[in-house]
């Protein structure tokens, strides 16, 4: 899989719309998944909304279908949040967006970047979102788009849009999790000290991310161990040793940090989530149960039923 992210910079680009996702993909390299980050624009010098000029290339790289193409949001410095229309881009970048998606690639936007996708025709008939201040204008300019309000990000047929600013980090972590698994995304979130990651429009999908909203290093070490070996038997004594506390203390600290889960319940949650993924991709319940570490399917069925009851 190609690990390249190309950021299309628009005059007035918001620094955090760019820097947040770039930091996520850059940090992925620290965990064995290096990304090449490229920055392209129509002119080499790109003014930012915050006044810092940015340098970009003007020649587009040859894109592979596995490459990501991201459009950060922008704003005219000194103007209101809605003053990002009309789109300050020529036809060349819009054609590049269309061509990449038509070739099977993924395109993403942060904040006002959704307007670039809309102008390229990529929002027609698809769910999308943007910053709440410009949702009405986006819907007016692109009436065939399904603008979703009060969400952090949406995904629809390799078109990914986010609400903007900090939600660009959520979007990038979501993309990393889809490519390399939620454990890698959780490691990156922890390294960036953004443990409390948020999902787009559904309840938090992965316990690896959902239960990281704490700063207890000992519990994080135990979670790292369980995340990596959740299909194996993991005695409480082994986990307590990783945290360098007693078994009783670990249970108390772990339960408090994760919002009520014991280490065993956390491991079971990971097993069920992985099994659900395998089943959704065609595995039988029996095969999925064995793959995630259960002796047979009975325990998996019991835990799935319990989870369904809790969600109802």
What residue ranges do the domains of the chain occupy?
Answer: 4-184, 214-311
Q: What is the pLDDT of residue 163?
A: 86
Collapse the DSSP code of 13 into the 3-class scheme (helix H, G, I; strand E, B; otherwise coil) and give the result: strand
Kindly report the average pLDDT of the chain as a whole number.
87
With a pLDDT cut of 70, the percent of the chain lying above it is 90
* Res 85 pLDDT > 60: yes
CA nearest neighbour of 137 among 152, 149, 151: 149
Q: 175-199 burial, b for 16+ CB within 10 Å, e for fewer?
A: bbbebbbbbbbbbbbbeeebeebbb
pLDDT in tens, 261-271: 999 999 999 99
> Can you tell me the mean pLDDT for 272-294?
88
Whether this prediction's pTM lies above 0.75 is answered by: no
Mean pLDDT over 289-305 rounds to 92
Residue 23 in contact with residue 192, Cβ under 8 Å?
yes
Residue 107 has phi, psi (to 5 degrees) of: -120, 145
At 306, the pLDDT band (50, 70, 90 cuts) reads: confident
Average the pLDDT over each of 37-51, 56-70, 171-185, 233-247 and give the range with the smallest value.
171-185
pLDDT over 60 at 200, yes or no: no
Q: Angle CA(216)–CA(218)–CA(221) in degrees, nearest 5?
A: 110
CATH code of the domain occupying 214-311: 1.10.10.60
Contact 288, 275 (CB under 8 A): yes
**CB-count burial class (<10 Å; 0-12, 13-18, 19+) for 134:** buried
Peptide bond into 125 cis (omega under 30): no
Arch. (CATH architecture) of 4-184 = 3-Layer(aba) Sandwich (3.40)
Name the residues annotated as catalytic: 111
């Amino acid at each position: 899989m190609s690990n390249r992210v190309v950021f299309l910079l628009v005059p007035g680009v918001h620094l955090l719309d760019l820097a947040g996702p770039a930091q996520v993909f850059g940090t992925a390299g620290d965990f064995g998944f290096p990304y090449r980050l490229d920055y392209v624009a129509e002119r080499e010098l790109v003014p930012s909304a915050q006044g810092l000029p940015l340098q970009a290339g003007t020649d587009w790289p040859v894109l592979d279908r596995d490459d990501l193409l991201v459009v950060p949001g922008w704003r005219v410095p000194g103007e209101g949040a809605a003053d990002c229309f009309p789109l300050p881009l020529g036809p060349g970048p819009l054609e590049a967006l269309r061509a990449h998606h038509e070739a099977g690639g993924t395109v993403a936007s942060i904040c006002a970047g959704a307007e670039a996708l809309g102008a390229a025709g990529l929002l027609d008939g698809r769910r999308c979102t943007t910053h709440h201040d410009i949702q009405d204008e986006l819907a007016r300019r692109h009436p065939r788009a399904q603008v979703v309000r009060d969400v952090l990000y949406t995904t629809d047929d390799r078109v990914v849009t986010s609400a903007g600013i900090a939600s660009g980090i959520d979007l990038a972590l979501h993309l990393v999790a889809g490519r390399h698994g939620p454990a890698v995304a959780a490691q990156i979130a922890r390294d960036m000290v953004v443990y409390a990651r948020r999902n787009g429009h559904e309840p938090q999908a992965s316990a690896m991310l959902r239960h990281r909203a704490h700063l207890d290093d000992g519990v994080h070490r135990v979670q790292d161990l369980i995340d990596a070996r959740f299909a194996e038997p993991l005695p409480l004594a082994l986990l307590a040793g990783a945290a360098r506390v007693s078994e009783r203390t670990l249970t108390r600290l772990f339960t408090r940090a994760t919002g009520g889960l014991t280490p065993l319940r956390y491991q079971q949650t990971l097993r069920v989530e992985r099994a659900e993924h395998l089943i959704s991709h065609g595995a039988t319940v029996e095969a999925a149960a064995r793959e995630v570490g259960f002796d047979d399917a009975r325990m998996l069925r019991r835990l799935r039923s319990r989870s369904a009851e809790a969600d109802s």
